Chain A
């Protein structure tokens, strides 16, 4: 076969296979893509939360896109603890200044970056959060300090609509 020169028929075979492959892919893609988030799921993209009743040292948990979001009003001690950590001590180095634009408010997804459990408040070796599933410890900025989780808890896109309301998403 290999020493033979390509003939017209070989060209026809190759062209037929190529057209066939494109056709199959065109049919398979809708079947695969139907499993991605649909329009109604995507429509629930943002949530507004009233935070006027949250006192310093308290955390509220709200649901956004089916996931819990922690909104913590931090105490002065927690802020200074979070801001005094050296970058080289962090597994996933991120400045607290970048994670909490307003130092008093920490807004992040309450989802452990290991396998998606919800970490517990005011627990763990770093005064922040502790994930009961596989033992990840987070600090007062929600940064991973110890355990199997690879990343800090994610800070979603959010903004203060006014002094009392946070819009997440």
Chain B
């Protein structure tokens, strides 16, 4: 893991480090050579770590007051909001924290898509990331069930019913998930257990994610392999630490805006009505971060195929490193890919909007076209583009195009776009 030998200066330090090399690890983390051209899109890894820790700390404190029982859950959440000291603050941070977590993770994922960070030799980092993303969705879904409001109950009903689409064993699986014949108290208690467990699984995977990152080192906006340590790198501390810290402060301003000025804008009013198994709310809509996948589910008229399409839309990301055949990582040097990238971003945003609208008429038609394009992007455009696209010449190092004197004239002309 470490690129160089490290010996602690103090005698005690050396004694300890010989027995458990924690100081070597700390030294590796501070000295870790980082490309010096990383832009602010690279600060979201640190922001996501902050989000995870925030969710764990606020979640632990909420669990001290929450009661996981169908008859008491709704009231205990109101009790947290009204009676518990700062309960309103902790709950609003936790609820909006989930949205902030997804906001950051989507930026993080789309940064990887733009700069080709998922490509060799970083496939394992990417796949661990996709598993973390899947676990995040599971945790968010189950967390949303815990207040036992109308949206909690019916969201849980609809999502667990997705499994009933599986031929033969589907109904049995759904009954097993519920622990009964409908979503009820046994469902709530097991969701609470899993909601509590998953963040710690994510924490473990984050360690693996960072470990796998530290083997090849960071990708960078130019997308080329760099020697490390070299003139192209700076040590993680203090350079990246201070930059990540500044970005985190900016992010916390956005976070605080939601928590203090519009804590319920991202939620649904229906969830302040206690769960009622006799009445379904008029519009069942998942939280905003799941809307694109919900739109894909609804745009397929067949039940089983709809579920398959929705799951494929997520799992297709896991094989992305092999679908993208281009040897060039960064979109900066891929003029065609850059355009398709922005079309994909627009496509996902359109899907998200359609997921919030009723599934009928023009909305449904647009959702179907956008769903088709989503799969077309990954299954056809990306594999073909790798062979057909005429890429721009890439520089030999990060320093070269900035300092000039490059042997490659065409590349020097391209300097502006590299600086971005």
Pairing of A with B: yes
A→B interface (CB under 8 Å): 32, 35-38, 41, 61, 63, 65-68, 114-118, 131-135, 148-150
B279 contacts which of A35, A36, A41, A118 (Cβ < 8 Å)? A118
A66 contacts which of B160, B180, B284 (Cβ < 8 Å)? B180
In the bound complex, what is the Cα–Cα distance between A116 and B170 (angstroms)? 13
A61, chain B: closest CB distance, angstroms: 6
A148 contacts which of B179, B183, B282, B306 (Cβ < 8 Å)? B306
In the bound complex, what is the Cα–Cα distance between A117 and B283 (angstroms)? 11
B181 & A35 in contact (Cβ 8 Å cutoff)? no
B359 & A37 in contact (Cβ 8 Å cutoff)? no
B177 interfacial contact with A, CB 8 Å: yes
Which residues of B368-398 are within 8 A (CB) of A?
A: none
Q: Which residues of A contact B160 (CB under 8 A)?
A: 116
B303 & A66 in contact (Cβ 8 Å cutoff)? no
A66 & B277 in contact (Cβ 8 Å cutoff)? yes
B→A interface (CB under 8 Å): 154, 157-158, 160-162, 164, 175-184, 186, 190, 277-284, 298, 301-303, 306, 358-360
Complex A-B, nearest 6 residue pairs according to Cβ-Cβ distance, in ascending order: A66-B182, A65-B181, A116-B161, A115-B161, A117-B280, A115-B158
In the bound complex, what is the Cα–Cα distance between A38 and B178 (angstroms)? 11
Chain A binding surface, main DSSP class: loop
In the bound complex, what is the Cα–Cα distance between A68 and B154 (angstroms)? 13
A40, chain B: closest CB distance, angstroms: 10
A41, closest chain B residue (CB): B180
B186 contacts which of A41, A116, A132 (Cβ < 8 Å)? A41
B368, chain A: closest CB distance, angstroms: 13
B277, closest chain A residue (CB): A66
Q: What are 17 residue pairs bridging A and B, where the CB atoms are less than 8 Å apart in the complex?
A: A35-B190, A36-B175, A37-B179, A41-B180, A65-B180, A66-B184, A66-B277, A67-B181, A67-B182, A115-B161, A115-B164, A117-B154, A117-B158, A131-B280, A132-B280, A132-B283, A148-B301
A-B contact count (CB 8 A): 82
A160, chain B: closest CB distance, angstroms: 23
Q: Which residues of B contact A36 (CB under 8 A)?
A: 175-176, 179
A68, closest chain B residue (CB): B278
B156, chain A: closest CB distance, angstroms: 9
B308, chain A: closest CB distance, angstroms: 14
A107, chain B: closest CB distance, angstroms: 16
A63, chain B: closest CB distance, angstroms: 7
A116 & B158 in contact (Cβ 8 Å cutoff)? yes
A114, chain B: closest CB distance, angstroms: 6
B395, chain A: closest CB distance, angstroms: 50
A105, chain B: closest CB distance, angstroms: 20
Q: Which residues of A contact B164 (CB under 8 A)?
A: 115-116
